[in-house]
Structure formats: structure tokens, C-alpha cells
Structure 1
Amino acid sequence: MTAYGYFLSSEEFGPHELLDQARLAEQAGFEALAVSDHFHPWNDEQGQSSFVWSVIGALSQVTSLPVTTLVTCPTVRLHPVLNAQAAATAAVLTGGGFRFGVGTGEALNEHILGDAWPEAGERMQMLEEAVQVIRKMFTGEQITHRGDHYTVQNARLYTLPDEPPPVYVSGFGPQAAALAGRIGDGFVTMSPDAPLVEQFRRAGGGAKPVIGGLKVCWDTDRDRAAATVHRLWPNEQLPGELAQLLPAPEHFRQASSLVTEDMIRENVVLGDAVDEHVDAVGAYAPAGFDEVYVNQIGPDQTQFFDFYRTEVLPRLREPHR
């Protein structure tokens, strides 16, 4: 049975708003939370970017729902040892309800210390080594590690959960899916792409969980919803590797000038037609996904949660689906 969660957008909402949304999500019947981990928003219109580990600590005190980072880049901005410490503490605070989603990241967030932004192949190598270091740290033993990308000397975590948090690996192509199958406890990919899920499972993922998600914009006026998405999240429609390579919110604003409202209407669930929301979210289950996270774009959060509580989630959970 596919589980349905809510995706907290750290780029669009401040920490107090994220906590309010977490409460509303639990009351609406969502079963889990995901939260983005960014240093910058994608563009200045979104306007936020709080420190995710502080937010997760606060979430653990206001909701009983499990929390997953979608996703953290554990390779550049923070050393893998510090990511391991943060994830272990999050798992303790959530009573074992934290799942560590990781990926190769974006220049937008990772270039800020002046490090060179590597090619995709090297980023995957860095991620694999980072996950190795993180798993060693989760043992609670003293670790020394000298690898191609990271050095660790006499490091030990003292605050640990009873069980290490699972590490879910993000990927959007066959090589990344294969890496996730080899090193991950689960796979994160946003589109309901059944062949990519199969690639993950063949590469060693087996029956491990697959996690996906989508953005929607509930509104009683579809045109107003399209305008909201066009203002706040046009970057979602940018093709190829731009999301991984552009280094600053201003560059995303420039590239997003090529995105039209018609493109938004063709590719984003807009408005309050129940069938459109049910069909879009429901497409993940037959593609092999175990968890799906929905994010509401824009300010109409209370109305969105009421709509999903009364109209969408009951339909998604009908036995015949």
C-alpha cells in the first residue's frame, strides 16, 4: 500500500510556517513528512532557506510523523562526518522516525564555500564515499578514513539512535538509479518513472522502498494557480542539467524567463478538480512507488489540506486503486 506524505518546502516558507504545515498535514491524514535541504532558494520570489537540521529538531516536537530529507547533499557544503552527526541526532529526536535522503546536489547550494563544482560522474563517486563514511559513523565506533575525497581522523558519534537511520539515495537517470540500488536503503526519484524504478531494483534495490513526489497548486481559479506557479516555481520546468549546474538564484530567474504559463498549465496539477489531483498522485503506485509526497505551491495551505483531507486522500486510499 502506497503511503502519502506532505513535502515541506524550505525554499518557499520560513521555519514557523513549516511547523504549522506539519501540524496541518498530520491533521489532514498525511502519513509522513519530507523536507528540502537548501542553502539558497531557487529564486528570490520563493524567498526562504532555513537550516534544515534546526527545522527537523523543531518538527520532532510538534508532530509524530516520520521525516525524510529530500534531499541532502552530504558531499560539499557539510562534511559527511557532520552530516552523520546531524542525521543521528535527528533520528534520536524523532524516536527513530528519521530517514536520510541524500543526493549529488546542485551548484546552487554547494558552491558557496568556493569549491569547484565537479562533473556528474565525480559527484556520484563523492556521494558513494560520503555514504560509506556516514554508515561507518553510525556504528558508534571511532573512525579513521582516508579516501579519494574525504579524510576522517579519530571521529566517533556518541549520540546515536537505537537503529541507524536508513539512507535513501536520489537519482534521475540510469546511472544514479544503479548507484542507489548498490548503496542505498531506498531510492528517491520525483517522476513516476517505472523503468527507472526497475533499473534501481535490478541493480540491487530489490524490494527496498521507492520515494517520489510532485508539486501541485490548489486554487479555486485555475488561471490564478498557473500564475502562482509561474511566479514561484517556474524553475521546475527547466530541462536537462540546468538545475544541477546553475550557481545562483539570479541565474534561475534568467533561465526561467523562457518558461511560459502555458508550459505550467501543461505540466502542473492546477486548481480544484479532484480527479486531476487523484490521477497525478495516484500515478506513482502502479509505477512501483512506496511513498509519494505532495507539495502545495503558494499561500492557500489551509484550503489545500482541507481539500486533500476530504476529497483526495480518501479517493487515493480506496481499495480498488
Structure 2
Amino acid sequence: MHIGYAAMLERFAPSEAVELAALAESHGFRGVMAADHFQPWLPRHGQSAFVWSVLPAIAERTTGDIGPGVTTPTYRWHPAMVAQASATMAAMYPGRHWLGIGSGEALNEHVVGRYWPEAPERINRMFEAVDVIKKLFAASAAGRDVRHSGPHFTLESTRLWTMPQTAPEILVAAGGPVTAKRAGRTVDGLITMDAPPERLELLLARFAEGARDAGRDPSRMPKVLQFHLSWAPTDEEAMANAMREWPIAGMRIGKGDIRSPFEFEQLARGVRPEDLADRLTISADPDVHRAAIQRAFDLGFDRVYLHNVGRNQTEWFEVFGREVLPKVRR
């Protein structure tokens, strides 16, 4: 089974994140995803390394797939720059790199001081950015220039001069059915976060509809789940870790418009343990986590990347590598 490691650059210094990714692979984790953050979620997380610098360092220490899950090519970045970064990664690590793209959050994107639009415009910008990146990949692979002029982006005649033999897969992060269906029509695969099974089933169904609308076979397209959990030797420790390190899982408000880690900290003070019950798998029992991960594969996901919210990463790798990963079946 393809169970990878979600390297949280918002929580671990870059050198430590590289070491942890290598250690995760030594315990059976396959592949690494790391998000493109400019700021951490909470001040206590204390880090936010540049993902495009850390990914190659991780790739040098590991052998599995690797991708930014996700980056946002619409505010801090022009799509052409993301295309160049991704093509370079794919040229350096053939067959291992994939490009995860999202519509962005104010926490990271507002820093350049641009107008922060409503969600529908952010999603439209994201799909136009995908169009620019796909054009650059296709034209550059064919050895020709390309241009683009759209409602949000302009690209003057150019190409990527460093291009891998095979363009990276493009996966879009979707949290709602409309975006999932559009992703199925447009890109190579889907990324989403863990959620109740009925919600995940809906997202997968809409993604499959979109793929079939475009004449593609959804069963052959990657479907990726980022899975947050809290494991520790006791249930009490697991809950304490979740409340201290990942209370944002229990926030019942939209997070896309919050601009500061300090705002998240204030809002997270209202989170109680019961708020985390259906948002995060919290247990000392490896079988509880195994069953939750198994459900994701049973629903139809191809890759699951795990994030244990506690600082006890080494101990977690050992327990899951021995008692969880080998027992998950397709």
C-alpha cells in the first residue's frame, strides 16, 4: 500500500524535516508530501521553511515519490514560476515528482499585499493557473514557445528550458464537490483532507464524473488523501498532543480567510477535546489508526500521507512501521 509521510515544514526546522522524512522511509513509509507555507498555523509551531528548497534535500535522502501538497500558483507565485520549479524537480528526480496545486489560504498568500478574493474567484484563478502550467509543460516538451492571455494571468511567448522527459502529474486539492468534478475534467489527480466517509465518497464520485466527462478513466487517476492523526503511548497523551499541537482541527469555522498565526491561536483557544472527536483520529491503539487508514483505501484512495500531530515522530514511525503499515490491505 502507498502510505507516505506528510512532512510538516510548519512544525519542524528544515534539517530536522529532512531527517524525519528519511527516518520515515526506513520504517516503511513510501513517499513524502510537504505544503508550501509562508507562515505556520500557530506561533508555537515555530517554522515555515521554503518548500522548494526542502523538497530536493528530502529527495536526496529518500527514494519514493515527492510533491508539494500543495502549492498555490496564483498570489505569491506566478504559474510560470511554479511550472519551472516543478519541471526542475522532475528533471532531477525522474518518475518521483508530482505537482499538487491548491487555491490558497490568506495565511500564506496575503503577505504580498494583494486583494484577497472570495472562494469562487480563488478557485477560478487556480484553474487558470493550471491551464498556464499545462501549456508550458506541453509546449516545452515539444520544443516550442507558448503564450497565454486570460482574465487573471498573462504569459508572454516563452518556454521552460529545463524540462523532464515526462511532465509531472498535476493534482488539484479539492474540499468541495464542484471543485472535485472540475479537477476530474482538468488535471491528472485529486488531493483532499481526511473527512467523514460520506463526504469523501461524494468528492471521489464527483471527481470520477468529471474524469468520465473528459473521456478519461478515473480508476487510473491518482487520488491522494492527507490524513491527520494523534498517536501516543496512552490515550491521554494522544489527546494532549492533539489539543496542544493541532487544535485547528477542531475549529468549526472556515480557515481560508484567517491571515495570522496569532489569529489562529486566539480562535483555537475555544476548542475543546470533544470538538476533535470527528475531525482527528486520536488513540494509543494502533489498530484504531489502522482501521481508519484502511477505510480510506476502501473508499478508493490510492495514496495516503500521514501526519502525526505530536512531536513524538520517531516513536510513532517505529510503532506504525511495525504494527500499522504492514496490515493495511487494498
TM-score, structure 1 length as denominator?
0.94
Amino acid at match of 2:156: Q
In 1: Cα distance, 2:252 partner to 2:175 partner: 12
Task: Summarize the alignment of residues 136-155 of structure 1 with structure 2, pairs less than 5 Å apart.
Answer: 136-139=135-138, 140=140, 141-155=144-158
In 1: Cα distance, 2:280 partner to 2:121 partner: 33
In 2: Cα distance, 1:293 partner to 1:245 partner: 25
The answer (yes or no) to whether the contact 2:102–2:126 under 8 Å persists in 1 is yes
In 2: Cα distance, 1:184 partner to 1:145 partner: 18
The answer (yes or no) to whether the contact 2:238–2:284 under 8 Å persists in 1 is no
Q: Deviations over 1:70-120 (max 9, x none)?
A: 111111111000000011111122223111010101011011111111111
Q: Which of the numbers 245, 264, 286 marks the counterpart of 2:276?
A: 264
1:154 positional shift: 2.7
* Count of aligned pairs: 316
The answer (yes or no) to whether the contact 1:45–1:231 under 8 Å persists in 2 is no
Structure 2's unaligned 5+ residue stretches are: 213-217
1:265 positional shift: 5.0
The answer (yes or no) to whether the contact 2:249–2:280 under 8 Å persists in 1 is no
In 2: Cα distance, 1:281 partner to 1:65 partner: 19
Q: Which residue of 1 aligns with 2:18?
A: 19
Task: Summarize the alignment of residues 153-164 of structure 1 with structure 2, pairs less than 5 Å apart.
Answer: 153-164=156-167
In 1: Cα distance, 2:72 partner to 2:321 partner: 32
Q: Which of the numbers 231, 234, 239 marks the counterpart of 1:221?
A: 234
Q: Which residue of 2 aligns with 1:116?
A: 115
In 2: Cα distance, 1:78 partner to 1:186 partner: 22
1:19 positional shift: 0.7
Match of 1:136, SS?
helix
Q: Which of the numbers 201, 214, 217 marks the counterpart of 1:194?
A: 201
The answer (yes or no) to whether the contact 1:60–1:93 under 8 Å persists in 2 is no
Structure 2 residue 76 is the aligned partner of structure 1 residue 73? no
Runs of 4+ in 1 over 2 A off after TM superposition: 261-272
Q: Deviations over 1:194-235 (max 9, x none)?
A: 121011101126221111021122211221221222122111
1:266 positional shift: 5.3
The answer (yes or no) to whether the contact 2:55–2:67 under 8 Å persists in 1 is no
The answer (yes or no) to whether the contact 1:96–1:162 under 8 Å persists in 2 is no
Using the aligned pairs only, state the percent identity: 37
Q: Which of the numbers 245, 261, 286 marks the counterpart of 1:249?
A: 261
CA gap 1:266/1:204 in 2 versus in 1, 3 angstroms: closer
Q: Which residue of 2 aligns with 1:280?
A: 292
Structure 1's unaligned 5+ residue stretches are: none
Structure 2 residue 176 is the aligned partner of structure 1 residue 173? yes
In 2: Cα distance, 1:92 partner to 1:56 partner: 13
In 2: Cα distance, 1:161 partner to 1:238 partner: 41
Q: CA RMSD in A?
A: 1.5
Q: Which residue of 2 aligns with 1:313?
A: 325
